[in-house]
Amino acid sequence: MIDPEIVAIFLEEATDILHNWEKECLTLEKNIDHPDFNGLFRCAHNIKGSAKSVGLESLGQFVHEVEDVINLLRNGEIKLIPKILEFLLDAQALLAKWVEELNKDVNYVPNTKSHSMKAVAIKDFAKKKTGEASQIISKDFGTIAVEVGIEQHQVEKAIKLQNRKIGEIMVDEGIISEKEKIEILEKQKIMQKKAGVQKTDESIRISANKIDRLIQLIGELSIQQSIITHAKKNKSLDSPACGNAISLASKINSEIQTNALSLRMLPIEGLFQRLERIIRDLARSLKKQVEIEIEGSNVELDKTIIEKVTDPLIHIVRNAIDHGVESTQERVKQQKNPTALVRIAAIQDATGVVLIIEDDGKGLDREKIKKKAIEEGLIKAEAHLSDKELNLLILEPGFSTADKITDLSGRGVGMDVVKRTLDSVGGSIDIFTEKFKGTTFSISLPTSLSIIDALVVMVKGQRYIIPLLELSEVLDLNSYNLERTSTGETMFNLRGKVVPVQKLADYFPHPGITGVLDEHDDPNSKNNDNFVRPALIIEMNQSKVAFEIDKIVSQQQVVVKPLNDKLSTLPGYCGGSIMADGEAGMIVTLRYLAQKYFEKYSNN
C-alpha cells in the first residue's frame, strides 16, 4: 500500500534531483569531449532507490534502465553522442512529467516502452560502433519490435490499440460488460480521491543558519519585551533602561523582518536553467546554431516573483530564437558568426534585480513596427516617436509584425501579457535594439513583494501608498515656473527637460473631481505661493511625468496585502496595506499610470 504522505516527500526530493539531472546533461553537452558522468549517475541512482523505497516500482524500474545506459557511458563502453544525450534529456523530461502527474494521482504510470526499448538497444549495441548505436536509438518502437522478433501484424494491432482506454479494450474482448466498466470507473474515482496525494503546502529549502539566527533574534526580542513589561509594571517607562529596550526591540524587529523575507529568497539558477533548456531544444528544432551564456545565476529573488515572471521570460526567449536569431545560412551571408549568441544575466542593483535577455540576431525592424502600428491605429502617421517608444510598441495587445503564423509565434499574443505580468509585480521592461546587430530586453524587478519602502500620500482626502522604488524624485511645484500649453496641459522645465504635470486625483474615481485645475492650482494665479504643491516624478524610457498630490503624510515600510478578485481588476492598484493607525490604504503603481499617460500622449 502506497503511503501518500511518504510519496509527497519523495516527489519533493525527486523534483530537486531531476533539476540536477537536467543541469548535468546540459553541462555534458558543453563538455562532450571531456565528459564526467558521475553527477548524472548519482541523480539516477538516488531517484531509483527512493522511488522503490516508497513503492513506486514502475518509476524505479524505468530509472534503473536509464541508469544502466549512464553506467555504460561512465565505464567507457559507449561514447556520448548527440543521440544518446537526447535520450538522457528525454528521459529527464518524461520523469519530470511523471512526478508532476503523481502529485495529482499516486497511481499514475506513463507509457515508457519507447524509452525502455531505446535503452535496451543502446545496451545491446554497447560493444559495437557508436554509429550503429546512433542509428538504432533513432528508430521508432515498432521498427525495433519487428527487428527483435515480434510479428508485424502484432505490432500493427498494438498501434491501433495504443490510444484506447483499457476499459474499452476489456469490453470489446468480452472480459467485462459496459455496466461493469462504468461501475469500475466510479470506484476508481473514489479510490483516487482517497489515495491520491493530497495537495501539500508549498515548501522551500532553507539554510539551517537562517533558522538559527531567526530563533536567536526572537529570543532577544523576548528579553527586551520582558524589560518593557517590567518597566510598565513599576511605572518607569521613562527610565533609561526602558528607552534602551524599546530602541533595541525596534532594531531587532527590523532584523527579524529582513531575515524572514530572506527565507522566501531563491537563487535564480533554476529559472535560468529552464530557459537554457528551452533555448537549446527550440534551436535544435529550428536547426539553428545557438551558444548560450549565463551570468548571475546566484542572484536571489522572492519565490513568488520567480514563479510569476517565468512564463514571460520563456515567451521572450522563444521569440528571440524564432524571430531574432537568423538561420545559419543567413548569418554566413551577413558575415556573422554562424553560431548565434544568447546571453541571459541577472544583476543586483540598489533598487532590486535587473534581468537581461540579449541576442546578436537581426534586431527589431523599426520601420516595419511603425508601419504596422499605423495600420492598427496605435499611432498616427504624422506621430514622431523616439526609437525607444517604437521598440515598446511590440508590447501592445495583439501587435505582431510576423509575416506568417507558426506554432511558436505570429499570433500577436504574448508580449502584452509579458508587460502586464511585470506591472503586477512592480517590474518594468526596456527594449534596446540595433538592426542586424541584435536585441536586448532589460527587466527590472523588486527583490520582494512582502514588505516595501513606501511614501504615504493624501489625494482628495484619500490615502494612497506609493512604492519608493518607482519614484525618480519628489519636489515642490512652487519652486518651478509652470506654463500652460495651448492644449491646456501644464508643463515645467526640470534640468533642461520638459516635464508634464498630471493630477493624481484625475486617475481615480473621487466624487466631485472634474479633472480641471482649481483656481488656487492655476499656474497663472497669484494666490499659489502660500502652500506646498508636492509632486512625484516618474521616469520611463528617459521621459518624465509629474503626478501632483495634496500632501505627503509619511515615509514608512508597509506590509503588502493582496487585493480581492474585484479590486485586483482595477487599473493602477497593485495591493493594499494597514497603516500604523489601523486604517487601510491602497498601493498604487505610478509606473502603470505613467505608461498610460505616455501612450495617450504618443497617440495624440
Which residues of the chain register pLDDT less than 50?
Answer: 129-142, 144-148, 155, 159, 163, 194-200, 410-413, 510-526, 528
**Statement to judge: residues 420 and 377 lie in one domain:** yes
**Statement to judge: residues 232 and 92 lie in one domain:** no
> CA 503, CA 548: separation in Å to the nearest integer?
5
Hey, what amino acid is at 601? Y
Residue 511 CB partners (closer than 8 Å, separation 6+): none
pTM for this prediction: 0.65
How do residues 338-362 score in pLDDT, each as one tens digit?
A: 999 999 999 987 678 999 999 999 9
In a domain, residue 472? The reply is yes
Q: Out of 163, 197, 222, pick the residue that ends a domain.
A: 163
Give φ, ψ of 445 to 5 degrees.
-135, 145
> Residue 127's pLDDT is what?
53
**Statement to judge: residues 89 and 142 lie in one domain:** yes
> Residue 7's pLDDT is what?
85
CA angle 114, 120, 125 (to 5 degrees): 125
At 534, is the secondary structure helix, strand, or coil? strand
The distance from CA 431 to its chain's CA centroid, rounded to whole angstroms, is 18
Nearest to 310 by CA among 265, 270, 356: 270
> Residue 551's pLDDT is what?
92
In a domain, residue 200? The reply is no
> Residue 406's pLDDT is what?
56
Grid coordinates given for 172 = 470489446
**Statement to judge: residues 459 and 574 lie in one domain:** yes
- Note whether 362 and 346 are within 8 A (CB): no
> Residue 511's pLDDT is what?
40
**Statement to judge: residues 455 and 441 lie in one domain:** no
> Residue 570's pLDDT is what?
73
> Residue 337's pLDDT is what?
94
**What CATH number is associated with residue 504?**
2.40.50.180
> CA 407, CA 403: separation in Å to the nearest integer?
13
**Statement to judge: residues 561 and 520 lie in one domain:** yes
- Across 270-339, where does the E strand assignment appear? 290-295, 300-302
Q: Out of 404, 429, 445, pick the residue that ends a domain.
A: 445
**Statement to judge: residues 137 and 11 lie in one domain:** yes
**What CATH number is associated with residue 321?**
3.30.565.10
In a domain, residue 182? The reply is no
Domain tally for the chain?
4
In a domain, residue 226? The reply is yes
> CA 293, CA 289: separation in Å to the nearest integer?
14
Report strand pairing: 490-494 vs 483-484.
antiparallel
The distance from CA 515 to its chain's CA centroid, rounded to whole angstroms, is 38
Would you say the C-alpha torsion 383, 388, 390, 392 has a positive or negative sign? negative
> Residue 518's pLDDT is what?
45
**Statement to judge: residues 237 and 125 lie in one domain:** no
In a domain, residue 191? The reply is no
Report strand pairing: 490-494 vs 352-359.
unpaired
**Statement to judge: residues 438 and 511 lie in one domain:** no
The distance from CA 535 to its chain's CA centroid, rounded to whole angstroms, is 33
Nearest to 430 by CA among 415, 441, 438, 419: 441
> Residue 22's pLDDT is what?
93
Alpha helices in 397-482 (DSSP H): 415-424
**Statement to judge: residues 289 and 309 lie in one domain:** yes
Residue 503 gets which letter from DSSP?
E
Residue 259 CB partners (closer than 8 Å, separation 6+): 210, 213, 214, 217
Instruction: Supply the range of the domain harboring residue 372.
Output: 269-445
- Note whether 267 and 299 are within 8 A (CB): yes
In a domain, residue 499? The reply is yes
In a domain, residue 190? The reply is no
In a domain, residue 183? The reply is no
**What CATH number is associated with residue 43?**
1.20.120.160
Grid coordinates given for 148 = 527483435
Grid coordinates given for 289 = 546554431
Q: Out of 381, 412, 445, pick the residue that ends a domain.
A: 445
At 223, is the secondary structure helix, strand, or coil? helix
**Statement to judge: residues 96 and 75 lie in one domain:** yes
**Statement to judge: residues 276 and 425 lie in one domain:** yes
The H-or-E segment that residue 573 falls in is strand 573-578
Residue 570 CB partners (closer than 8 Å, separation 6+): 563
- Note whether 433 and 545 are within 8 A (CB): no
